[in-house]
């Protein structure tokens, strides 16, 4: 028996933010394996610059955000390619967001309506100032070239018939 036994100690300390209560910095990291399961064709579609929704095999209702079964009649759906041009149904400008998007604030989220589609699609709108966006404004889809298999692989930009963005002219020199 050795009563002088000690645990080995390291030389690094702890980052302390506060003592009452004690708040310390603790690094936390995890790899998370996430299956898209039956939603996989939507993400695969984004890599081919396609927006995949679903259509009910019973009543024909078409869903912009795909779902396995119809919200109306409960029948199974099948995959259905959506148009890539639509209109702004509504929009909001976010001045705060989750950690992944904080650096991009303010940014604009839109709900897109498509001809022949019964539900709306949530996405980002870029290339338009918040005060230049109008309900009904035409928008078209764009896709990340280096896809990440995330919903953000698709975003929207003002469409062909959208009013041109207001250009702010620099002040004329006064000298
Ligand atoms: Zn249905």
The whole-angstrom separation of Cα 53 and Cα 62 is 7
Nearest CA to 107 out of 138, 148, 152 is that of 152
pLDDT in tens, 108-119: 999 999 999 999
Q: Is the pLDDT of residue 174 over 90?
A: no
- DSSP-derived letter for residue 57 is T
Over residues 169-175, mean pLDDT: 54
Centre of ligand 1 from the C-alpha of residue 77, in Å: 8
Nearest CA to 148 out of 100, 96, 79 is that of 100
Centre of ligand 1 from the C-alpha of residue 69, in Å: 8
The chain-wide mean pLDDT, for the chain, equals: 92
Q: pLDDT-based confidence at 161, cuts 50/70/90?
A: confident
Centre of ligand 1 from the C-alpha of residue 82, in Å: 17
Nearest CA to 52 out of 121, 111, 146, 110 is that of 121
Q: Is the pLDDT of residue 22 over 90?
A: yes
| pTM: predicted TM-score of the whole model, two decimal places | 0.77
Centre of ligand 1 from the C-alpha of residue 57, in Å: 7
- DSSP-derived letter for residue 106 is S
Centre of ligand 1 from the C-alpha of residue 115, in Å: 18
Centre of ligand 1 from the C-alpha of residue 62, in Å: 8
Over residues 46-59, mean pLDDT: 97
């Amino acid at each position: 028996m050795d009563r002088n036994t000690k645990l080995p100690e390291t030389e690094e300390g702890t980052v302390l933010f506060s003592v009452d209560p004690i708040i310390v910095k603790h690094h936390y990291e995890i790899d998370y394996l996430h299956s898209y399961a039956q939603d996989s064709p939507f993400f695969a579609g984004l890599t081919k610059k396609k927006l995949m929704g679903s259509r009910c095999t019973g009543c024909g209702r078409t869903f912009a955000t795909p779902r396995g079964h119809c919200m109306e009649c409960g029948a199974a759906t099948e995959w259905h390619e959506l148009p890539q041009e639509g209109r702004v149904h509504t929009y909001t400008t976010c001045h705060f967001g989750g950690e992944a998007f904080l650096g991009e604030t303010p940014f604009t989220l839109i709900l897109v309506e498509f001809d022949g589609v019964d539900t709306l699609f949530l996405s980002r709108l870029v290339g338009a100032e918040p005060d230049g966006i109008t309900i009904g404004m035409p928008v078209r889809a764009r896709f990340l070239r280096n896809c990440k298999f995330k919903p953000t692989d698709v975003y929207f930009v003002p469409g062909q018939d959208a009013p041109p963005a207001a250009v702010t002219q620099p002040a004329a020199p006064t000298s």
